[in-house]
Structure 1
């Protein structure tokens, strides 16, 4: 427990920030806007690393029946929408704006649960959900630069993330562990993205990409895939070592660090109104974590 509190949390935050910066660098600075290939490489690499780690005994992967895979496919489809929409959105939106929209996935989860369940909701949870919604809507309306396409993909991203959270919560009784669920997600997404590379034109467009032979491009793509896998392991280890409210707190810290530090690393056009939207969003997420902690007591 002491090791988790002193090491796992900061490691998770560092991996989270560096992964976002790496993805942003490849997608925006190098302008590699071919998501089927970029994400196909990441998911394929992640699946291979998971399988190799399982064979070597570094992680626990049990055999699971075909019925379990089939029952998880809706979750894999939501995962694919999550990463595809997120990649498209991150390529054009600054990291603080992207995370503000990402945080609004809690609104989607809240609405789905309210429709399907009749549980009482604390006023803190309602207030945090309203803060996340207001921050996202106001950001879209008050953004000083046109990011219409980025916001469209961000809405797809947050919708899939919110629905995936609910689906994962409903599937807690399944025989699949978090790692096994992620392995199915990786394999399904890699197959789907690879098959879509040719029809979307990404395959031939990437062959003409000026940075294709650049060491920076290769290092960025490899680092992105490796960091994504390491972040997955760190997050699962963190969830198994500390209470969920502390996991949520570390996620908030990681997002705040990514938003704040990105202002010094990337070019971001931000004014007082959009800055307030970002701050309200992170505050709303922190309140949501507190509300869930109170509810679990």
Structure 2
């Protein structure tokens, strides 16, 4: 791996770690549980920074036809589902638990490719899917901090992630670049979440939030918006620069690091069965990385 690849990988891991920890802090410690406002703010900052970066010539956004935009609209709807459900799940679940459930999206993608696209699946990838599914399936029965609402939203989140990735892979040839897609996601999300803030009750409920006028809250929200943008940017750079196997390895490393540090920083109760489920899920993702590196 080149020095540039290593630098991008380390930058990605840093942004991944900081973004998850900051979001968890806002959602769980400060208890800012107004997802339409929180995610609307993050996507607004992301879209604004991406637009500024485009105008400064740092990134390239191509002018898309109306057909391309309309074709991408279902994916943008799924993107809103990903961030909304993910925000609600993360506010109630420990980060390691959330990540194990999030990984089940890979099982959905693997199953879809096998059943509908008739792609050949390596034994390592099949074992990976089984381990990931077993870990996520056993976790609710072994989690001493079980929260039914958190698990419900985590399931919605992983279904949206799986459907989103399948939709992206099915678009060949791709008329929109990764940056184009994210730009459209940001625009749609800001508009949709702005209109949804009132029907969901978040718009007026937020007035009762105890830290609404505290600088600590303002600083945390600003940091989460900027970190989310940099995470998106480094993810795109990582996937464009490195082979799929190397990219999967960096993502796995980022998840392990984030899960490990979150246990030290947040209130997480780990029992032996819970740790067993987490290790099984980690083994499943490690096998997934191995299968990706073997294919690349």
Range into which the TM-score falls when normalised by the shorter chain: over 0.9
- Over the aligned positions, Cα root-mean-square deviation in angstroms equals 1.1
Secondary structure at the counterpart of residue 59 of structure 1: coil
Count of aligned residue pairs for this structure pair: 296
Distance in 2 separating the partners of 1:30 and 1:251: 28
| 1:92 aligned partner | 92
CA contact (8 A) 1:4 1:242 kept: no
CA contact (8 A) 2:248 2:292 kept: no
Distance in 2 separating the partners of 1:137 and 1:59: 41
Distance in 2 separating the partners of 1:105 and 1:174: 22
| 2:114 aligned partner | 114
Structure 2 alignment gaps of length 5 or more: none
CA deviation profile, 1:120-158 (whole Å, cap 9, x unmatched): 211111100000000001111211123110000000001
Asked if 1:126 is matched to 2:103, the reply is no
- Cα deviation for residue 172 of structure 1 reads 4.1
- Cα deviation for residue 9 of structure 1 reads 0.8
Distance in 2 separating the partners of 1:22 and 1:163: 27
The residue correspondences of 1:235-274 to structure 2 (distance < 5 A) are 235-274=235-274
| 1:162 aligned partner | 162
Structure 1 alignment gaps of length 5 or more: none
| 1:25 aligned partner | 25
Distance in 1 separating the partners of 2:30 and 2:126: 41
Distance in 1 separating the partners of 2:235 and 2:13: 10
| 1:286 aligned partner | 286
CA contact (8 A) 2:140 2:146 kept: no
The residue correspondences of 1:158-237 to structure 2 (distance < 5 A) are 158-237=158-237
- Cα deviation for residue 2 of structure 1 reads 2.2
CA contact (8 A) 2:109 2:162 kept: yes
CA contact (8 A) 1:15 1:231 kept: yes
CA contact (8 A) 1:4 1:238 kept: no
Distance in 2 separating the partners of 1:270 and 1:150: 17
CA contact (8 A) 2:114 2:120 kept: no
Distance in 2 separating the partners of 1:147 and 1:108: 23
Distance in 2 separating the partners of 1:80 and 1:136: 23
Distance in 1 separating the partners of 2:158 and 2:114: 17
Runs (4+) of structure 1 moved beyond 4 Å? none
Distance in 2 separating the partners of 1:287 and 1:136: 16
Question: TM-score with structure 1 length normalisation?
Answer: 0.97
The residue correspondences of 1:43-58 to structure 2 (distance < 5 A) are 43-58=43-58
